[in-house]
Amino acid sequence: MAARDIGRPRPSVLSGLSHMALAVWALLIIAPLAWTFLASFKTNTEIFGDPLQLPGALRLDAWGRAWDKAHIGQYMLNTVIVVFFGTAGTMVFGSMAAYVLARYRFIGNKLIYYYFVAGLAFPVFLALGPLFFVVKQVGLLNSHLGLVLVYIAYSLPFTVFFLAAFFRTLPDAVAEAALIDGASHTRTFFQIMVPMAKPGLISITIFNVLGQWNQYLLPLVLLAGDPDKWVLTQGIARISTLAGYEADWPGLFAALSMTILPVMIVYIIFQRQIQSGLGTGALK
Amino acid sequence: MERLRRYGFVAGFLVVPVALYSVFVISPYIQAFQLSLTSWNGYSSVVRYVGLDNFGRLLEDEVFWRALRNHGLLLLVLPIVTIVIALFLSFLLNLGGGTRGAGMKGVWGSTFYRVVYFFPQVLAVAVVGVLFQAVYRPDEDGVLNGVLGRFGVEPVGWLTEPGLALWSIMAVMVWQAVGFYVVLFSAGMAAIPRDYFEAAALDGAGRVRLFFSITLPLLRDTVQVGWIYLGIAAFDGFALILVLAGDKGEPDGATTILPVTIYKTAFAFNKVGYASAMGVALFFLTVTFAVLTLRTTRRERIEL
């Protein structure tokens, strides 16, 4: 490139090529998802005909079947319950622990902090067998409460790690003023610090909602015995086997679409927080 | 008095999280190490210690070695392919636009691409697995085979051919992971001062040169983090393989990996002690990998 060219827009051959490469990857992402969505309106014959064909009519019956017969409605409700209490518990206990670890000096502070953060380094598989027996021993196998407690416990390391860093950045003056005015430590936390930490709390809440919503391994082990209590990911994996026997492929794709859509909506609304939250997690 | 109140408060805030975490996370990990020294089957009340027998058996276990070989392949291919694609895409996103006033521009619509690329990352792996079952169906009804069929290609057994199954699964892993690394590398590239590129461009450096002489060296730390993450992911892959190939598939053990083997050994074959030994082996392999990567790639940091 000669120096005199600078300052003028270049004929954008390169820019065009860039767009091509970028668009190809975008297509690779969108195509299977769009295909799934379309397949939920198709008939079996249409699904297994030409994959590029559009559905002949807008049929919604597969969505109804997936919701009732394949219990997606039930699984969805189970998942919402477990994720709601799991995330709420994670946020309450995680932020409490992170707050005192970040802002109070006491004996064993560092030790407890590293005790939590160490949990980030262990592969879940190592604990799988024993975890099953721990949950069985406390009598919470095949119960949503058991799963909620386990979700909270396994979400704590990252939550504490992330929020402790966040609480450390908050200014001291406000909390000190509140304490001098006679507010208790607990009140200072809930009425002053939590509102101040809102951006951090939101990021990590979304992170935990997605993580728990998508969890497959823990429910597979801890809820195996009671299909009525299953969560979505288990249900989907099971339907994919069933669909083969019953030849109800549109039902399967309707079930998949139903699982994907809420995540997609949450993602589009919060994509900025999600990307930055996950990014911070990677750069720890 | 105030001191006491403070300690009471600190203890009150810590007791529940520490208890939950100790019971459900730490104690199972400790038990796993302990159980790896036993021949426990998961239900008998007698736990018999067998020392390091389980580990001795591991060394002679063909399934274990096959799983390790597959991890090795994953470890080699998954990070390289993902990082190369992600670097390429994020370079295009951030610097692939036209050169205007000597400033390097990202392409138009880069936010849109970033949002789309990242989306598979938030999908449940189980859902992705079921989705790609349809894509990879071995007959002409599969999405991929259907599309290829238009060009006269015979149906391919993506998940049933032993030589192909693991590669097909790796492709899904790359499909899901790339977006995350695009975001990660984009953040790294945004931190590189613009004048570096502008100065180099003034000196006549082309885009390829810019990438290899400026972007890549300055992105070293971020790439290293990505490498470790992908390496650890290569030791996992549980849900995807279980859903895609787990029950019916696994042609000739071509997709056997440790987590799936651990799960089956513990819950289908009731060999909890032996499964724990595999878990411990997996733990040390992961840690060794992380330490080795950090050691071999550590270099003087380039200060900006």
Contact at CB, A25 and B42, closer than 8 angstroms: no
A80 touches chain B (CB under 8 A): no
Query: What is the per-residue pLDDT across A119-128, written as a single tens digit (0 to 9) for each?
Result: 887 778 788 8
pLDDT value, residue B156: 87
Phi first, then psi, for residue B99 (nearest 5°) are -90, 115
The chain B residue lying nearest A159, using CA atoms, is B17
Pick the more confident residue, B47 or A259: A259
* Gap from B202 CA to chain A (nearest CA, Å): 7
pLDDT score of B178 more than 70? yes
The pTM (predicted TM-score) of the whole model is 0.85
Sort out which chain A residues have CB atoms less than 8 A from B132's CB and list them. Answer: 32
Query: What is the per-residue pLDDT across A213-251, written as a single tens digit (0 to 9) for each?
Result: 989 889 999 998 899 999 999 988 888 777 666 678 888
H/E element, B175: helix B162-190
pLDDT score of B28 more than 90? yes
pLDDT score of B233 more than 60? yes
Q: Please, which pLDDT band fits residue B248 given cuts at 50, 70 and 90?
A: low
- For residues A238 and A248, what is the distance between their CA atoms, to the nearest angstrom? 13
H, E, C per residue of chain A: CCHHHCCCCCCCHHHHHHHHHHHHHHHHHHHHHHHHHHHCCCCHHHHCCCCCCCCCCCCCHHHHHHHHCCCHHHHHHHHHHHHHHHHHHHHHHHHHHHHHHHHCCCCCHHHHHHHHHHCCCCCHHHHHHHHHHHHHHCCCCCCHHHHHHHHHHHHHHHHHHHHHHHHHCCCHHHHHHHHHCCCCHHHHHHHHHHHHCHHHHHHHHHHHHHHHHCCCHHHHHHCCCCHHHCCHHHHHHHHHHHHHHHCCHHHHHHHHHHHHHHHHHHHHHHHHHHHHHHHHHHCC
Query: What is the per-residue pLDDT across B32-88, written as a single tens digit (0 to 9) for each?
Result: 999 999 988 877 777 888 889 899 999 999 888 988 898 889 989 999 999 999 999
pLDDT value, residue B128: 93
**How is residue B99 annotated by DSSP?**
E
H/E element, B103: strand B103-104
Contact at CB, A130 and B27, closer than 8 angstroms: yes
Q: 3-class SS at B90? A: helix
User: Beta strand B99-100 with B103-104: parallel, antiparallel or unpaired?
Assistant: antiparallel
> Would you state the structure tokens that stand for residue B232, as one six-digit string?
């650890």
Sort out which chain A residues have CB atoms less than 8 A from B85's CB and list them. Answer: 25
Contact A260, B123 (CB under 8 A): yes
The chain B residue lying nearest A93, using CA atoms, is B17
A282 touches chain B (CB under 8 A): yes
Lowest mean pLDDT among A32-41, A96-105, B200-209: B200-209
Query: What is the per-residue pLDDT across B87-143, written as a single tens digit (0 to 9) for each?
Result: 999 988 887 655 544 445 566 778 889 899 999 988 988 899 989 988 888 887 778
Q: What is the complex's ipTM, to 2 decimals?
A: 0.86
Instruction: Count the neighbouring beta carbons within 10 Å of the beta carbon of residue B103.
Output: 14
Sequence-distant (6+) residues with CB within 8 A of B294 are B224, B228
pLDDT value, residue A278: 63
Average pLDDT of the segment spanning B285-295: 82
pLDDT score of A90 more than 90? yes
A22 touches chain B (CB under 8 A): yes
* Gap from B172 CA to chain A (nearest CA, Å): 11
Sort out which chain B residues have CB atoms less than 8 A from A100's CB and list them. Answer: 9-10, 13-14
Nearest residue to A33 via CA among B258, B26, B108, B143? B143
H/E element, B199: helix B194-202
- Beta-carbon-side half-sphere exposure of residue A149 (alpha carbons within 13 Å): 23
Contact at CB, A100 and B13, closer than 8 angstroms: yes
Residue window 175-234, chain A: list those with CB within 8 Å of chain B.
184-186, 189, 210, 213-217, 221, 224, 232-234
Which residue bears the tokens 């998940």? B159
- For residues A228 and A73, what is the distance between their CA atoms, to the nearest angstrom? 11
Contact at CB, B100 and A9, closer than 8 angstroms: yes
- For residues A244 and B126, what is the distance between their CA atoms, to the nearest angstrom? 17
Contact at CB, B114 and A275, closer than 8 angstroms: yes
* Gap from A81 CA to chain B (nearest CA, Å): 17
Query: What is the per-residue pLDDT across B147-163, written as a single tens digit (0 to 9) for each?
Result: 888 888 888 888 888 88
pLDDT value, residue A244: 66
Amino acid in position B119: F
pLDDT value, residue B247: 57
**Percent of chain B residues past pLDDT 70, beyond the cut:** 91
As a residue count, chain B comes to: 304
The chain A residue lying nearest B271, using CA atoms, is A129
Contact B21, A116 (CB under 8 A): yes
Sequence-distant (6+) residues with CB within 8 A of A3 are B202, B204
Amino acid in position A125: F
Amino acid in position A15: S
Average pLDDT of the segment spanning B206-230: 85
**Percent of chain A residues past pLDDT 70, beyond the cut:** 89
- Beta-carbon-side half-sphere exposure of residue A145 (alpha carbons within 13 Å): 4
Q: 3-class SS at B239? A: helix
pLDDT value, residue A231: 94
Instruction: Count the neighbouring beta carbons within 10 Å of the beta carbon of residue B2.
Output: 8
Q: Which residue of A13, A128, A260 is the best one to mutate when testing the B interface, meaning the one whose CB has the most B CBs within 10 A?
A: A128
Contact A37, B120 (CB under 8 A): no
Contact A214, A82 (CB under 8 A): no
pLDDT value, residue A11: 47
Sort out which chain B residues have CB atoms less than 8 A from A239's CB and list them. Answer: 130
Contact at CB, A15 and B107, closer than 8 angstroms: yes
Query: What is the per-residue pLDDT across A6-57, written as a single tens digit (0 to 9) for each?
Result: 444 454 666 677 788 899 999 999 999 998 999 899 888 787 777 677 887 7
H/E element, B195: helix B194-202
H/E element, B186: helix B162-190
Contact at CB, B120 and A29, closer than 8 angstroms: yes
pLDDT score of A5 more than 50? no
* Gap from B17 CA to chain A (nearest CA, Å): 6
pLDDT value, residue A78: 96
Phi first, then psi, for residue B103 (nearest 5°) are -90, 140
Mean pLDDT of chain B: 84
Contact A62, A250 (CB under 8 A): yes
